Amino acid sequence: MVILGGSGSGKTTILRLILGLYRPDQGSIHLAGHDITALRERDLFEIRQQMAMVFQGSALFDSLTVRENVGYRLWEQGRLSDERIDQTVRESLQFVGLEDTIDKMPAELSGGMRKRVGIARALASGAKVLLYDEPTAGLDPINTCTINRLILRLKAKGVTQVVVTHDLETAYRVADRIVMIHKGRIIFEGTPEGLQRSTAPAIRGFIEPGSLSAEREAFPSPDNPLY
Amino acid sequence: MSAETFNIRSKLIGYVLVVQEFTFLCGQVLAALVRPPWYVRDMVLQIDRIGVGSLFIVVLTGMFTGMVLALQGAVQLEPYGATIYVSRLISTSVVRELGPVLAALMIAGRVGSGIASEIASMKVTEQIDALRAEGTDPIQKLATTRLVACVLMIPVLTIITNGIAIFGGWLVARLYLGIDSYFYWTWAFEAIHHRDIILGLVKPAVFGFIIAMVGCYAGFHTKGGTVGVGVSTTQSMVSSSILILASDFLLTKLFMAFP
């Protein structure tokens, strides 16, 4: 599923609420039969084990190597042997095409490589649900394409994924279902085709940013000569 | 309510809030100390960074403090013909006050600001959130390990500072003032009582707690980007220095109340 929307519309906040990193002011969030808003931080750690997040800025741990970053959760859990963890780390890195970076530090990697290591970390954790916060933001078209392909390959493997993005190309490419958010509210829920056919001004404005309706949406002042 | 009164009120509420949050963090860290996991590897790493890493600056601090005390002490004692007792002045002032406080201030500058800037950088680059997302308690992983390292290592560093300061004083006393080594060391050790040693060890442990907790608090409560990291680092250094000096007075007063 893709959560689509402009900057500041509340997309990332939704991901953080799902992970329990933020507490909602009101309402409730149900995950795997639990109302996570009622849980203490320590109890949330159990719930979070079922999910993994790829952060917008990758959020790789600076002081750890790529190997340690990717295998972090497995080492923390302490359930597997070092050999088994190492094998999982290598497989995850192989999946994202970065097995030769295993002993590098995050500072030695490019932006696109860091994003892919972030995906490998999420993958190695064995989480049932992967959450992506703007996975293609700030990347060149080739890296964007690589990340989209990785998401599609994981989709083909049956991994549940929630992608937050403002990138239409990514949304159309990877989504089964799109939810569009505008000013903190859901204004569309459906297929990529349904989104493209929508005539709602806010959606048209987002899809065709050069159009008249988009200008009005962006500058809704009565002084605007477009009115 | 005038704008000025409102501003003062908001600032006061802000200060109370900081104290409340700091106390809450201390409680969380102390509670985390007694429950697993204990991150022994991280603790050893922090002990190495804080202890071994600060060795050079505390040796220099101790050496120059002892040498200056010998020079100044001799000037004060000379009119009374008591220059020979300069080692008493050096050992008592260093063990009771100067050693713990100067070592703590130097360590606050090096270690406290380092803790604040490291955690602050992790905060602004979402690494703290990533730790939470990975199912790790950042307080347990980052704060308890640093607290244990500071509380264990700062007393050790203080003992080294004290020893080096008395040694530095001996260098000046022997080479510059011409005091006999036997008299220097005899009077130096005779002047130190059990109470001084206890006070000289309790103080650094408390200072270690202050340095670690202020650094962690400043780091975890960082707001904004790189500017926020700078602000947190400065705040940590200033706050821990003030708290060290204030708690030094309170601890000395407390010990004096129980002769």
pLDDT one-digit tens code per residue, A31-87: 878 888 888 888 888 888 889 999 999 899 999 999 999 999 999 888 899 999 999
Alpha-carbon torsion (A42, A44, A48, A49), positive or negative: positive
- Report pLDDT digits (tens) over A164-182: 999 899 999 999 999 999 8
Query: B145-175 and B99-107 helices cross at what angle (nearest 10)?
Result: 130
Q: Can you tell me the distance from the alpha carbon of B204 to that of B192, in angstroms, rounded to the nearest whole number? A: 17
Q: Can you tell me the distance from the alpha carbon of B61 to that of B67, in angstroms, rounded to the nearest whole number? A: 10
The residues of chain B scoring below 70 in pLDDT are 1, 259
Q: How confident is the model at residue A223 (pLDDT cuts 50, 70, 90)?
A: low
| C-alpha closest to that of B133 among A107, A178, A136, A118 | A118
Q: Can you tell me the distance from the alpha carbon of A133 to that of A57, in angstroms, rounded to the nearest whole number? A: 9
Question: What tokens does A139 get?
Answer: 């990347």
Alpha-carbon torsion (B164, B165, B168, B174), positive or negative: negative
Query: How many residues in chain B?
Result: 259
Query: B194-220 and B3-33 helices cross at what angle (nearest 10)?
Result: 110
Q: Is the Cβ pair B126, A62 closer than 8 Å?
A: no
Please tell me which of the candidates A45, A46, A61 has its beta carbon nearest to residue B127: A61
Q: What is the ipTM of this complex?
A: 0.85
What pLDDT, on the 0 to 100 scale, is given for residue B36?
A: 86
Distances (CA, A) of B77 to A204, B64, B93, B95, B137: 88, 20, 15, 20, 57
* CATH architecture of the domain with residue range A1-50+161-227: 3-Layer(aba) Sandwich (3.40)
Degrees to nearest 5, angle at CA B33 with B31 and B37: 110
* Contacts with A51 from chain B: Cβ below 8 Å: 133
Please tell me which of the candidates A16, A57, A72 has its beta carbon nearest to residue B125: A57
- Report pLDDT digits (tens) over B106-126: 999 999 999 999 999 999 999
Q: How confident is the model at residue A9 (pLDDT cuts 50, 70, 90)?
A: confident
Q: How confident is the model at residue A227 (pLDDT cuts 50, 70, 90)?
A: very low
User: Do residues B110 and B93 touch, judged by C-beta distance below 8 A?
Assistant: no
Q: Which residue of B has its CA nearest to A19?
A: B133
Chain B nearest CA to A204, separation (Å): 33
What pLDDT, on the 0 to 100 scale, is given for residue B37?
A: 87
Q: Is the Cβ pair A72, B126 closer than 8 Å?
A: no
Max CA-CA distance within chain B? Answer: 72
What pLDDT, on the 0 to 100 scale, is given for residue A200?
A: 86
User: Do residues B214 and B233 touch, judged by C-beta distance below 8 A?
Assistant: no
Q: Which residue of A has its CA nearest to B123?
A: A59
Strand (E) or helix (H) holding B37: none
Coil, strand or helix at B95: helix
B interface mutation test: which of A23, A53, A133 has the most B CBs within 10 A?
A53
A interface mutation test: which of B134, B146, B226 has the most A CBs within 10 A?
B134
| Cβ of residue A125 closer than 8 Å to a chain B Cβ | yes
Chain A nearest CA to B235, separation (Å): 23
* Contacts with B133 from chain A: Cβ below 8 Å: 19, 21, 48, 51-53, 55
Contacts of B251 (CB under 8 A, 6+ apart): B199, B202, B203, B206
User: Do residues A129 and A51 touch, judged by C-beta distance below 8 A?
Assistant: yes
| Cβ of residue A227 closer than 8 Å to a chain B Cβ | no
pTM, two decimals, is: 0.87
- Exposure of B214 in the CB half-sphere (CA atoms within 13 A): 24
Q: Mean pLDDT in chain A?
A: 88
**Whose structure tokens read 């100390």?**
B33
